[in-house]
Amino acid sequence: MNTIALEFATEEEVRAAADKLWNKHGITGELEMFQTSSGAWRLHIYSEKPIKESILEKLPGKRVQIKGSFGAAMRAEVPSETD
């Protein structure tokens, strides 16, 4: 499995990039989208096959490093409200 992370300014950009990867380029595997604590939007791509660099260069997102633990991406959970 190939893992790549991209960061975007808006939710619309991240959704458009994910749609393009999935539908136009046929990328298979898992895509995870979430908003970071800084307000940016992150797209983690867990692709079954390598993604061509030329495809990644056409996406508007900035490539970022995934912080992982034992091969799985880690992200901070939002604290829940307690009564």
**What homologous superfamily is domain 2-73 in, according to CATH?**
ACT domain (3.30.70.260)
The dihedral through the CA atoms of 16, 17, 22, 24 has a sign that is positive
- Give whole-number Cα distances, 42 to 14, 48, 52, 76, in Å: 7, 19, 20, 13
Predicted pLDDT of residue 60 = 87
The whole-model pTM stands at 0.74
Dump pLDDT digits (tens) for 3-44.
Answer: 999 999 999 999 999 999 999 999 999 999 999 999 999 999
